[in-house]
């Protein structure tokens, strides 16, 4: 197994890696996230779904320390990280691929990877590390390409590669397959499963139920900032209330 990616074994354990307790975020009068409790077990591949505006991305931003919660707490590996800085969380093993791509379009693939890796890898090891990550995402041949010239899917994969540079134990993916065609979506699904097999716990957001069905072990449904349902994909798809709020018009 490739040690570039993993620090732990591939098993869903009884231990929680991430816990949200009564987490809330208010923007003026809007309760974007309203008292959410969520527990993600080590090794899990867990999906967060819900209609547009349900609060999914806001939850991710609170987990990463982009937004400070209005109420509640975030625990990572048993430690309260609610007040920790964004970079402290990354150092602890938390990483994210945001909904809006965070790549540098004017720079090459390699330079983007250098920026992502330099804090976490010694200079002498950097080339090797970058090559491993690019291979994994199937974009090694594009190493010297300017990022703006890549396809939408390739840019998303590059960004996932960048999010792996800190060797995360928990990876958050916000709509990793958004805007992709069927083949790119399939490749992304394979990729997410592969990363999970290598020991990374993954929490991802997606709208595309075909994609969710391919990879999620457990699904949490969010509605108006609150947890609405939780279960396996088949439990969620056969839950009539969920179908009404989400799947029916999704």
The SS3 assignment for 233 reads helix
Residues 99-158 that bind ligand ADP (CB under 6 A): none
Phi then psi for 130, rounded to 5 degrees? Answer: -65, -45
The site partner of 54 among ligand ADP, Mg ion, none (C-beta below 5 to 8 Å per kind) is ligand ADP
Nearer residue to ligand ADP within complex by CB, 26 or 104? 26
Selected binder of Mg ion within 18, 55, 57, 130 (CB under 5 A): 57
Nearer residue to ligand ADP within complex by CB, 112 or 163? 163
Q: Angle at Cα 60 formed by Cα 77 and Cα 102, nearest 5°?
A: 115
Selected binder of ligand ADP within 43, 50, 69, 93 (CB under 6 A): 50
Q: CB of residue 246 vs ligand ADP: minimum separation in angstroms?
A: 11
Selected binder of ligand ADP within 40, 42, 56, 137 (CB under 6 A): 56
Residues 16-35 that bind ligand ADP (CB under 6 A): 27, 30, 32
Query: Segment near Mg ion (CB under 5 A), from 6-14, 30-38, 54-62, 149-157?
Result: 54-62
Using left for φ > 0, alpha for ψ between -120 and 50, and beta otherwise, residue 76 falls in beta
Beta strands in the chain (DSSP E): 16-27, 30-41, 45-49, 71-76, 79-80, 94-97, 170-174, 201-205, 218-223, 226-231
Q: Is 220 in the site for ligand ADP (CB under 6 A)?
A: no
The SS3 assignment for 33 reads strand
- Tell me which H or E stretch contains 38: strand 30-41
How far apart, in whole angstroms, are the C-alpha atoms of residue 73 and residue 136?
34
Q: CB of residue 142 vs ligand ADP: minimum separation in angstroms?
A: 29
How far apart, in whole angstroms, are the C-alpha atoms of residue 139 and residue 122?
22
Q: Is 58 in the site for Mg ion (CB under 5 A)?
A: no
Beta strands in 66-129 (DSSP E): 71-76, 79-80, 94-97
Q: Is 53 in the site for ligand ADP (CB under 6 A)?
A: yes
Q: Is 249 in the site for ligand ADP (CB under 6 A)?
A: no
Residues that bind ligand ADP (CB under 6 A): 27, 30, 32, 50, 52-58
Residues that bind Mg ion (CB under 5 A): 57, 99
């Amino acid at each position: 197994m490739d040690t570039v990616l993993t620090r732990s074994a591939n098993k869903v354990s009884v231990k929680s890696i991430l816990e949200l307790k009564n987490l809330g975020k208010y923007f003026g009068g809007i309760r974007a996230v309203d008292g959410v409790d969520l527990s993600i077990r080590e090794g899990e591949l867990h999906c967060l779904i819900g209609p547009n505006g349900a609060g999914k991305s806001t939850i991710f931003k609170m987990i990463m320390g982009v937004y400070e919660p209005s109420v509640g707490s975030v625990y990572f590996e048993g430690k309260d990280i609610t007040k920790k800085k964004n970079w402290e969380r990354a150092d602890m093993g938390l990483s994210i691929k945001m909904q809006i791509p965070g790549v540098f379009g004017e720079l090459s693939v390699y330079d983007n990877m250098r920026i992502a890796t330099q804090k976490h890898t010694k200079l002498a090891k950097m080339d090797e590390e970058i090559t491993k990550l690019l291979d994994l995402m199937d974009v090694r041949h594009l190493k010297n390409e300017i990022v703006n010239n890549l396809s939408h899917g390739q840019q998303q994969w590059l960004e996932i590669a960048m999010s792996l540079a800190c060797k995360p134990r928990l990876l958050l993916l916000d709509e990793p397959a958004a805007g992709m065609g069927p083949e790119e979506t399939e490749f992304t699904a394979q990729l997410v499963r592969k990363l999970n097999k290598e020991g990374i716990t993954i929490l991802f957001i997606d709208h595309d139920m075909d994609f969710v069905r391919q990879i999620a072990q457990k699904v949490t449904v969010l509605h108006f900032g609150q947890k609405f349902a939780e279960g396996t994909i088949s439990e969620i798809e056969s839950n009539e209330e969920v179908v009404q709020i989400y799947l029916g018009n999704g």
